[in-house]
Amino acid sequence: MRGARALAVLLLLSLSVACVERERLEPDPKPLWERMNAERGNARNRSFVHWTLEVGGHTECSGDRFFEQTTEVYARARRSADLEPVRVAGLSIWFEYKNGLMARARAQEDGSDVDQVRLREVLKVGLNPGAECSCVGVTGVMKVMKRTIVQNTLVCPEDA
C-alpha cells in the first residue's frame, strides 16, 4: 500500500508540473520577408522623413502530446525613396505572448548601427494538454536623427 501511495504521489507531481521550455533560435539564413509576402508576414510600415521602419513576423504551432510554438519576428530600416536597406543608430524588436501559459512573457533583440534585427524563439510545453497557441504583439523601435519611431503589429497563428 505504501508503494502504491508513493507511486500515486509521484504521478500527481509529474502531471501537475508543466514542463515549459523557451529556447532562442538562430534566425533562418533567408530572412522572413524573403520567404513570405508582406501580408502573410503581417508587415506594417511607419515612415519618418527619408526612413521607413518595417515590422513583421510569423508564428506557428504544432504538436499533439507536446505543444510547440515557434515565433519569428523582425524589424528592418529602409530608405523611403527606394526601399533599400539603410543602417540606423538603433533598432530593436520584441514580442509578447498575448495569452496562454506564457501570457505577457517577452523576448527582445537590439542592434546598433544595423539595418535589421531578427528574433526567433520556440516555446515547448510538455505534460500539459491545455496549452494553447497564442497571438504575439510585435513592437519595432528605430532610432534615427534623435527621434524614436515605433511600429506595432499583431501576429496570430491562424494568419499563416
Can you give the pLDDT at residue 2? 63
Can you give the pLDDT at residue 139? 97
Can you give the pLDDT at residue 98? 94
Residuewise pLDDT in 10s, the chain (160 residues): 566 565 554 444 444 455 778 889 998 888 888 887 655 567 888 888 889 999 999 999 887 667 889 999 999 999 999 999 999 999 999 999 998 878 899 999 999 999 999 999 999 887 666 678 899 999 999 999 889 999 999 999 875 4
The label of the residue with cell 491545455 reads 130
3-state secondary structure of 28: coil
Q: How far, in Å, CA of 120 to CA of 122, rounded?
A: 7
> Kind and range of the H or E element at 3?
helix 2-16
Tallying the residues shown for the chain, one arrives at 160
Give the pTM.
Answer: 0.81
**Which DSSP string do the residues of 33-95 spell out, in sequence order?**
HHHS-TTTTT-EEEEETTEEEEEEEEEEEE-SSSEEEEEEEEEEEEETTT--B--EEEEEEEE
